[in-house]
Amino acid sequence: MANLIATPPFGDTLPVTVGATTITERPIERAASVAPFAGRAKAVSAALKQAIGLGLTGPGEWAAKGEASVIWFGRDTWLVIGAEVPESLQADAAVTDQSDAWACLRIDGPQAEAALARLVPLDLRAAAFGTGRTARSLIGHMSASITRAGGQGYDLMVMRSMARTLAHEVAEALQSVAARGA
Amino acid sequence: MRLTCPLCGERDRREFYYGGDAMALERPAPDAGDVAWNDYVHLRDNPAGATRDLWYHDGGCGTWLVVERDTLTHAIAKVTPASEVAR
Ligand SMILES: [Zn+2]
């Protein structure tokens, strides 16, 4: 198959740098949602662990190994990024390709937390939302996945059609926070 | 108002969508008759006190919840996944 030139979901809206805080695109080359059928979560977790080295995580948790990550993505649903989900899993779970369905950006730096406090109705401070945590919540009016990326960073995901709105809202919040500090 | 989602924890009201009286889970049998079906489809109590409503965590994990709450005090007594109630 021809290797086509990818069009990034955020267009030219990213990257954005304000002081020491940056907003950058996190390209998703491969992603799939995995929703185990009733009573099959344990079997799916074991099969996934054998295939990619990661099982299903608990609610509000995510895990990574090498290029692969598994993110809790809502009720009985997980998102597997950066690894191929084995076809055999389809006997026990609804597996749906999400590769171009979601867009992801990372906001990282000393003002990331303060910028997100303007947009997200959650306590995202390290004490409440530290390493390994993820959440489904709202960013402004958008349904989103919010993940602690380590250190001061957060990975934010929305449906791809809202990518530029996400970049715009996060950049604006960051600029407002920075302006108050100046 | 804040609701404690069994999966997500305590969340702001803006993340939830109101789904009406939880009696919607008590669907009558197809042959239950006109009176039972009329009651199920159209008639709702409007209590000053304890209510039992459906809420959907649409700005979160996507779980339908049964919320027991008091309309006089706004106290929330219990939040249960609807899947556990409607089994
Ligand atoms: Zn929830």
What gap in Å lies between CA A134 and CA A83, rounded to an integer? 19
Contact A77 B62 (CB under 8 A): yes
Tell me the average pLDDT of chain A: 95
The pTM assigned to this predicted structure is: 0.93
Tell me the average pLDDT of chain B: 95
- CATH number at B59 reads 3.30.2270.10
What ipTM was reported for this prediction?
0.88
pLDDT at A115 over 70: yes
Q: Quick check: helix, strand or coil at residue B58?
A: coil
Alpha-carbon distance B7 to nearest alpha carbon in chain A (angstroms) = 6
Q: Report the half-sphere exposure of B80 (CA within 13 A, side-chain side).
A: 15
pLDDT of residue A69: 97
Q: Quick check: helix, strand or coil at residue A77?
A: coil
What gap in Å lies between CA A106 and CA A156, rounded to an integer? 6
Contact by Cβ (8 Å): A61, B47:
no
Question: What is the DSSP secondary structure assignment for residue A61, as one 8-state letter?
Answer: B
What's the gap between Cα A7 and its chain centre?
Answer: 19
Which H/E stretch holds residue B76?
A: strand B76-81
Q: Which CATH class is domain A16-27+101-179?
A: alpha beta
CATH 3.30.70 domain residues, chain A: 31-97
**DSSP-assigned letters across all residues of A2-58:** --PPP--TTTTS--EEETTEEEEE---S-EEEEEEPTT-HHHHHHHHHHHHS--PPP
Question: Which amino acid, one-letter code, is at B85?
Answer: V
What gap in Å lies between CA B81 and CA B87, rounded to an integer? 11
What gap in Å lies between CA A83 and CA A63, rounded to an integer? 13
Chain A residues whose beta carbon lies within 8 Å of the beta carbon of residue B8: 59-60, 135-137
pLDDT of residue A6: 79
Which residues, by Cβ under 5 Å, contact ligand 1, an ion? B 5, 7-8, 57, 60-61
Domain A31-97 indexed as CATH 3.30.2010: no
pLDDT of residue A4: 82
- B29 lies in which domain range? 2-84
Q: Average pLDDT for residues A109-136, to the nearest whole number?
A: 97
Q: Quick check: helix, strand or coil at residue B87?
A: coil
Strand residue runs (E) in A77-179: 78-81, 93-97, 102-108, 134-139, 142-150, 153-159
Contact A137 B9 (CB under 8 A): no
CATH 3.30.1360.120 domain residues, chain A: 16-27+101-179
Q: Average pLDDT for residues A75-87, to the nearest whole number?
A: 96
Contact B59 A75 (CB under 8 A): no
Residue A74, chain B, CB below 8 Å: the answer is: yes
Given pLDDT bands bounded at 50, 70 and 90, which one contains residue B86?
A: confident
Given pLDDT bands bounded at 50, 70 and 90, which one contains residue B55?
A: very high
Q: Quick check: helix, strand or coil at residue B85?
A: helix
pLDDT tens-digit readout, B4-29: 999 999 999 999 999 999 999 999 99
Contact B15 A135 (CB under 8 A): no
Contact A137 B62 (CB under 8 A): no
Find the chain B residues whose C-beta atoms sit closer than 8 A to any C-beta of A.
7-9, 11-12, 14-15, 57-63
**DSSP-assigned letters across all residues of A59-127:** TTBEEEETTEEEEE-STT-EEEESSPPPGGGGGTEEEEE-TTTEEEEEEESTTHHHHHHTT-SS--STT
What gap in Å lies between CA A38 and CA A33, rounded to an integer? 16
pLDDT tens-digit readout, A138-160: 999 999 999 999 899 999 999 99
Q: Average pLDDT for residues B35-55, to the nearest whole number?
A: 95
Domain count, chain B: 1
